[in-house]
């Protein structure tokens, strides 16, 4: 694997951490630094924008990328929510066949959601300068190390 590809994968990994935060914002109104509502996700986006020293043009591009991803993800998120309710019903009735079937559908939907956000983060990474990409890689390394420490402590 080439160094460039490794860096891309590393940066995508750090940015993928934000995917869960982005997903949580589907119900919020489109405002804030990247078109998302307030709260933790908005603070994270501000932190990343400041850390990477994004230009105003990059912020606008990022907003367009992530708003588009959010719109693409919304039907998937809706299906995941419906699946969660179906799973609850299957669990409470101990319907093993339905639990397996719903689990498979939920897994496929989660994969679709990861693809939507993976593509969005790849588009975002592509608008970064080499210096910003290097900063994103260092951030990823720090977050991965912190996560490893956290998991080892449990």
Written as tens digits, the pLDDT of the chain (154 aa) is 555 544 444 444 444 444 443 444 444 444 455 555 557 777 888 888 898 999 999 999 999 999 999 999 999 999 999 999 999 999 999 999 999 999 999 999 999 999 999 999 999 999 999 999 999 999 889 989 999 998 898 8
Question: Is-contact 41 51, C-beta < 8 A?
Answer: no
| pLDDT at residue 4, as a whole number | 53
The rounded distance, in Å, linking the Cα atoms of 27 and 32 is 14
User: What residues make up the domain containing 130?
Assistant: 3-153
What's the number of domains the chain is made of? Answer: 1
Burial 81-113 (b: 16+ CB within 10 A, else e): eebeebbeebeeeeeeeebeebeebbeebeebb
């Amino acid at each position: 694997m080439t160094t460039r590809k490794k860096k891309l994968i590393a940066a995508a990994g750090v940015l993928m951490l934000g995917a869960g935060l982005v997903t949580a914002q589907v119900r919020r109104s489109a405002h804030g630094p990247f078109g998302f509502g307030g709260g933790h996700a908005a603070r994270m986006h501000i932190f990343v924008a400041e850390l990477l020293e994004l230009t105003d043009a990059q912020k606008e591009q990022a907003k367009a990328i992530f708003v588009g991803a959010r719109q693409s993800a919304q039907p998937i998120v809706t299906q995941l929510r419906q699946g969660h309710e179906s799973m609850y019903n299957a669990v409470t009735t101990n319907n093993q066949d339905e639990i397996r079937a719903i689990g498979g559908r939920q897994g496929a939907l989660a994969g679709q959601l990861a693809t939507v956000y993976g593509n969005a983060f790849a588009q975002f990474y592509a608008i970064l300068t080499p210096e910003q990409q290097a900063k994103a890689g260092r951030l990823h390394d720090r977050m991965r190390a912190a996560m490893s420490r956290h998991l080892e402590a449990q």
